[in-house]
Structure 1
Amino acid sequence: MNNIYVRLAKTNIQNNRQLYLPYIISGIVTVMMFYLMMFINNNPGLKSIPGSVNLITIMALGVGIITIFAYIFIFYTNSFIIKRRKKEIGVYNILGMEKRHIARVLGLETVFVAMLAIAGGILSGIIFSKLILMLLYRMLGFQESVSFYITKAGIAWAVIVFGVLYVLTLLYNLLQIRLANPIELLHGGNVGEKEPKTKGVIAVAGAACLAVAYYIAITTENPMEVLMKFFLAVVLVIIGTYFLFTAGSIAILKMLRKNKKFYYNKKHFTAVSGMLYRMKQNAAGLASICVLSTMVLVMISMTVSMFAGVDDELKERYPYELSYSVDADKIEENTDCQEIYQTITDTIAKQGREITDSSMFSYFQLFMKREGSMFEFIDHETDFAELSEVTFLTRENLLAYDSSLKPADVPEPEAGKIDIYSKNGYDESVFCYLGQDFAIDHSFRYESEADAYLSGKDSLYVVADEATLSRMYELQIAAGANADGSGMYSLYRTEMNFEYDGTKEEKLACEDAVSKAISTHGLDDSGYLSSRTENEKSFYVLYGGLFFLGVFLGIMFLMVTVMIIFYKQISEGYDDRERYIIMEKVGMSNAEVKASIQSQIRIVFFLPLVMAAVHVAAAFPMIRRLLAMLNLTNVPLFVTCLLVTILVFTAIYYLVFRITSRAYYKIVSR
């Protein structure tokens, strides 16, 4: 008896291979991607890479994302398959098979599919693991031999995660069969939809969600707000997209139906009426395709541009080859910085390197809350996004801080007075600092490159002579800054920057010599030395890892998008088959049927793509600011990567359109 169930399960899979083959292949690819992520994450050679902590974190994030989307994707495609097979299962029920017998057949089918997907995915992952690791090392510029390695943890977790997933799909299928009677099962694949009502409130709500999301993306400039509001905007876009496709598409189709010139056309009549009556089930699929397409475009374009511009990002993060900063609690404690500067200069020269650029400047800085001309310490109730970042320095230090400024454009403030350089402009007549007024000599609108990463509302540079700055620094100490538990801490910082020639090895040797020379002054505990070349490897690991993950997940999202489109077209092909047979019987020619099909598929296919392009265009300002926080300020590079990504994705999308429309037509024409 058991052999009968086994043969029946195998026969069912073979007879429904048009549905099961893509389902099994998708399962194999998903399991393979999961295993590869686990393989990279658990590879012992990864720990020898500089910055491996960031890379391991990125890969762990990839494992989580793949798991979430695997569950969503497999459940989504399984629902299409069980819907198409309800009629077949209903026939079994009518012929005398009890539901427990059908459950046993479905269970065996699930076991076969799960075994093929999990075993095939793990085997494929093992086969391609070494190649994937070699590609990753190549991206990171890491010269290391790659040995063959099988991760037991990857195999174990793949079996557990996907075993549970296929058990859940079986439970879902059994629930569908248990709750339906044989007649319902017979007609389960051909259940018609009533004409949906126009839901104006939902359509307006969808438009409102998108409008708010677009407004947030376009107007948000503060980096901290960008981080906080980005996910809010994403959620609003997803909700708005589903609402618009659910309610807005129905409203549009009814408007097209009212347009007699458009509607009473052989190409459009059946397409519009067919989509209108099935828009409830269509909307979720179209919205999913739109959201996934947007994710593919954003993720791949961002990670590709970050990896392509990694040299620019490195220079943006480390403008000078060598930087040394010293912090002191009091201004007078910073007096030996000139000696350190000279020591660094002499050490670089002794190493045979030529200094091409250098600078040294001092300042102190505070985040403060502002009310008009009054600037006070922050408290626990202060909104961080409303703070003003105030930097205090002399005229000479401002010129050294920003080499793009011309001396003629930076006047010397009168003794005892201050000049203010502000991003948003400063229109007050005085500067009330911790309860004491300071007269303003000049006020200028000014924004430095560092303000691109500004986390507060505004940035102000207070320029004064050394005596006035000393008085202002002592004023903040007296007001409680730097006191234990005060929450306000301000240091007088001196930064020294050097750019010099040489190969990477020579620059690293020079940095090591400078580090040893500084330690002889006894200030190495209060200072921080950074080198661009020394941090280059970890920088490439971080951005290379993000690029690898972006492309990896982009491929997965693309696969999910393609499979949703495929199953949607196959399912609708079977739904529309009887309708078009009737249309041919009443006089519609084969060519007219084909033209009607093409009209319907074009609308269904390209509407999500157009909507995804609109989403990406609206999100561009926010994405640009996010990239600036990740040190990528090369906007033309990102635009180029985005346009190339859109073109490649559109080409793939069109190819899927051609293939699935042919499959749809074959089903209908039978």
Structure 2
Amino acid sequence: MNFRQFALNNVKRNARAYSAYFLSSVFAVMVFFTYAVFIFHPSLDIPGLRKVMGAAVGIAYVFSFLFVFYSISIFLKSRNKELGILTILGAQKKQIRKLIFLENILIGIAAIVIGMICGLACAKLILLYGANILEIKLPFYLPLQAMGLTAGAFFVLYIVLSFSILAFIRQKKALELLMGTSKPKKEPKAHILLILLSIGLIATAYYFSSKSFTYMKEALVSGIMGIYFFFTQFCVFLMRLLKRNRSFYWRGTKLLWVSEMSYKLKDNARMFFMVTIVIIMASSAISLVHYMDYETKEAYRENPFAITFSDREGKDWASGMKKIDLELEKAGLTYEKVISKSIWIHGGLHVIKESDYPQLAKLLEMKVSHKLKSREAILISPESKLENSRSGQQIEQELKEELSVHDLQIVQRIDKTIELYNAFVVVNDQTYQQIEQKQREKNQAQQNKANPENISIYYFVPDWSNQKFPRSDSKQAKLSKVLEGIAHEDGHVKTRAVSYLEKQKEHSMMSFIGILIAAIFSLATGSFLYFKLYSDLNDDQRIYQMLSRIGLSTREMKWTCTIQMAMLFFIPFIVAGLVSVSVSVLQVFSRSSFQAQGMLTSSLISITGFFVVQLVYFLIIRALYLKEMNKVMVESMH
């Protein structure tokens, strides 16, 4: 028997020991391959989709690397004794390293093949779901590119991991290997400076989260570091406080599970950290998708006009308007329209003349105020969206500065929307002409030949309510697409229905990707915990068998194990849930009430969904774990 056969037989004979690591590897390959099948689909030539999916594949690959690395490190830790025996029997370090390398490559190749086979089965379901979400046909195809990418990427991953793992084995002596996991553990200790650092970093992360999105990178870095030190230091400190409380600690099985958890919290700190980050990322992905959908619907409701036709040049706008009128009349739709001239002076600020204002005021049910004097102005802007928002306050400040440049004084504020994301200022006709002349001179100085005046025609169609969302196959959507096409040569046509449906399509795509990422991360958290419990099973069985001989009942064992498993499953979830919800609450206070409901609601929905999934995982894995533990109890043997 040569060395390669020895490595192959070793894998076959220790199937139980290798199974958890192998299944973890298969899962990682399957997830990556499923994404690759979707991204390389020939029908998915949507602008921006490949880039977004490429980023998702990158995240999946990085996560796969961490997941497989964590799995193999736990797996090798459980095999230390076996490697120690081989060393005593005369195996050289070179041979041990070669054995581990060959075993890892064999498992890797098998995982790649099985993972892609399982991925093909899942890919059909994913393509069906994706076709339904994106409203396009996604027939099944032979994914040769996806196969090549997956095989190449994961073969490189297993080669890199094999060499990196060898560096750890090289440093260990035979006695250390023989001791295996039975080596006595030192009592976990927490450092007060690191505890304070974790609190400081988490507080810093919350501070940056309450600011604008420009500080998101700082919030992420400080938050991730703070969570890491929270699990490695702060949790250990809390368990030590519990131990000092003798009235609590020295009572029933609490003595058993508290003492065990103080060690398990320290041992599993990195796993807790990874699971927490995974849940936060997945929850954030779902929350973002829900929030974007909410924001799009609110924007649709806020838009009073079904059609907006704009012509910057002002040459042949009448012909474009006639085409729109003709199409609406053909469809038997009644409509009202307002022709308005405006001057764009800064950002989203437009100036309109007082003589055009009464028509707009009538359609939008706004009050027509007294006649404006020179330099007096009426500001039409959705104040309710800006008053509680830091970003909104910044926009308000910019508006004030721009108004002061043109020496305009606001005499009335109207909380209405003419165009989304734009504010309008009404001035008398004389002031309007002065501003127009000033803008014309400014354009000439910059050698800009563009006309400073923009002509807009706003169409109000009673049958197309902004309180009812259109479907892609509705008459409104079909006619809106026609309108945007026919008047393109004469000017720019924007319809409320098409804008909404395009945004919804983007969000559907993001939703599909977000749900996939969330599903992957959700399955991964369960796999992490299952793999950890499975790798510790032999040690736990040995401990509880000894305890059962001195009087520990099966009922007490089940209660103790359940508490410990619940802490392993739900501590990361509770931390992740608190972080996600509290960040959403901070965003609520730092943003407007328009955005508040969507952010907080979507965050609560995603956290609730994760709790249900985590609870199902817990109940299934608890049943399997207790079944194995029950086999070694003295009561069960009689």
Q: Distance in 1 between matches of 2:121 and 2:303?
A: 40
Residues 105 and 200 (structure 1), Cα distance of their counterparts in 2 relative to 1, 3 Å cut: same
Q: Distance in 2 between matches of 1:397 and 1:194?
A: 81
What whole-Å deviation, never above 9, does each CA across 1:425-483 have from its counterpart, x for those lacking one? 9999x9786986736362548575978x69xxxxx7543112112213433554x4564
The more displaced of 642-651 and 552-561 is: 642-651
SS of residue matched to 2:373: coil
Letter in 2 for 1:117: A
* 8 Å Cα contact 1:13/1:109 also seen in 2: no
Displacement, 1:185?
A: 0.7
What whole-Å deviation, never above 9, does each CA across 1:570-625 have from its counterpart, x for those lacking one? 34444545544554455544433433333323333222111111112112257779
Aligned match for 1:493, one of 445, 450, 454:
454
* 8 Å Cα contact 1:118/1:162 also seen in 2: yes
Letter in 1 for 2:197: A
Displacement, 1:257?
A: 1.3
Residue 115 of structure 1 is matched in structure 2 by: 109
Residue 31 of structure 2 is matched in structure 1 by: 33
Residues 60 and 439 (structure 1), Cα distance of their counterparts in 2 relative to 1, 3 Å cut: closer
Residue 579 of structure 2 is matched in structure 1 by: 615
SS of residue matched to 1:407: coil
Letter in 2 for 1:557: F
Aligned match for 1:596, one of 540, 543, 560:
560
The more displaced of 659-668 and 151-160 is: 659-668
Residue 658 of structure 1 is matched in structure 2 by: 619
Q: Distance in 1 between matches of 2:29 and 2:451?
A: 52
Tell me, yes or no, if structure 1 residue 414 matches structure 2 residue 373. Answer: yes
Residue 474 of structure 1 is matched in structure 2 by: 437
Q: Distance in 1 between matches of 2:13 and 2:608?
A: 38
* 8 Å Cα contact 1:573/1:668 also seen in 2: no
Displacement, 1:533?
A: 5.2
Tell me, yes or no, if structure 1 residue 283 matches structure 2 residue 269. Answer: yes
Q: Distance in 2 between matches of 1:112 and 1:432?
A: 69
Displacement, 1:306?
A: 5.0
What whole-Å deviation, never above 9, does each CA across 1:217-262 have from its counterpart, x for those lacking one? 3x44xxxx32x23343233322221121122112211111121111
Residues 316 and 157 (structure 1), Cα distance of their counterparts in 2 relative to 1, 3 Å cut: farther
SS of residue matched to 1:355: coil
Displacement, 1:85?
A: 1.0
Letter in 2 for 1:188: G
Residue 134 of structure 1 is matched in structure 2 by: 128
* 8 Å Cα contact 1:55/1:541 also seen in 2: no
Tell me, yes or no, if structure 1 residue 244 matches structure 2 residue 230. Answer: yes
Residue 385 of structure 1 is matched in structure 2 by: none
* 8 Å Cα contact 2:248/2:254 also seen in 1: yes
Displacement, 1:654?
A: 1.8
Residues 564 and 626 (structure 1), Cα distance of their counterparts in 2 relative to 1, 3 Å cut: farther
Q: Distance in 1 between matches of 2:256 and 2:263?
A: 11
Residues 304 and 119 (structure 1), Cα distance of their counterparts in 2 relative to 1, 3 Å cut: farther
Letter in 2 for 1:141: E
Residues 79 and 533 (structure 1), Cα distance of their counterparts in 2 relative to 1, 3 Å cut: same
SS of residue matched to 1:46: coil
Tell me, yes or no, if structure 1 residue 352 matches structure 2 residue 331. Answer: yes
* 8 Å Cα contact 1:569/1:660 also seen in 2: no
Aligned match for 1:363, one of 325, 330, 342:
342
What whole-Å deviation, never above 9, does each CA across 1:270-323 have from its counterpart, x for those lacking one? 22222323443322111222221222222234435656x698378369764432
Aligned match for 1:267, one of 246, 250, 253:
253
Q: Which runs of 5+ in 1 are unaligned?
A: 329-333, 369-388, 455-459
Letter in 2 for 1:554: A
Aligned match for 1:463, one of 419, 422, 426:
426
Aligned match for 2:307, one of 315, 319, 322:
322
Tell me, yes or no, if structure 1 residue 229 matches structure 2 residue 215. Answer: yes
Aligned match for 1:22, one of 3, 20, 24:
20
* 8 Å Cα contact 1:300/1:645 also seen in 2: yes
Q: Distance in 2 between matches of 1:261 and 1:291?
A: 35
Q: Distance in 2 between matches of 1:449 and 1:235?
A: 41
Alignment of 1:329-348 (within 5 A): 334=314, 339=318, 343-344=322-323, 346-348=325-327
Q: Distance in 2 between matches of 1:467 and 1:234?
A: 53
Displacement, 1:71?
A: 0.9
Letter in 1 for 2:249: Y
Residues 211 and 340 (structure 1), Cα distance of their counterparts in 2 relative to 1, 3 Å cut: farther
Residue 141 of structure 2 is matched in structure 1 by: 149
Displacement, 1:408?
A: 2.9
Q: Distance in 2 between matches of 1:351 and 1:649?
A: 51
SS of residue matched to 1:364: strand
TM-score with structure 2 length normalisation? 0.82
* 8 Å Cα contact 1:322/1:532 also seen in 2: yes
Letter in 2 for 1:324: F
Alignment of 1:164-563 (within 5 A): 164-217=156-209, 219-220=210-211, 225-226=212-213, 228-303=214-289, 312=297, 315=300, 320-328=305-313, 334=314, 339=318, 343-344=322-323, 346-356=325-335, 358-367=337-346, 390-395=349-354, 406-408=365-367, 410-420=369-379, 438=407, 440=409, 442=411, 444=413, 446=415, 462-478=425-441, 480=442, 483-484=445-446, 491-500=452-461, 504=474, 508=478, 512=482, 516=486, 519=489, 524=490, 527-532=491-496, 538-563=502-527
* 8 Å Cα contact 2:480/2:495 also seen in 1: no
Residues 436 and 563 (structure 1), Cα distance of their counterparts in 2 relative to 1, 3 Å cut: closer
What whole-Å deviation, never above 9, does each CA across 1:89-140 have from its counterpart, x for those lacking one? 1112122222233233323322321122111122233344444323211212
* 8 Å Cα contact 2:39/2:54 also seen in 1: yes
Displacement, 1:403?
A: 8.0
Residues 400 and 556 (structure 1), Cα distance of their counterparts in 2 relative to 1, 3 Å cut: farther
Displacement, 1:14?
A: 4.4
Letter in 2 for 1:114: G
Q: Distance in 2 between matches of 1:574 and 1:277?
A: 17
What whole-Å deviation, never above 9, does each CA across 1:320-345 have from its counterpart, x for those lacking one? 443221225xxxxx4875x3575245
Greater relative CO, 1 or 2 (CA 8 Å, sep 6+): 1
SS of residue matched to 2:331: coil
Residues 567 and 589 (structure 1), Cα distance of their counterparts in 2 relative to 1, 3 Å cut: same
Letter in 1 for 2:54: A
* 8 Å Cα contact 1:28/1:118 also seen in 2: yes
Letter in 1 for 2:434: R
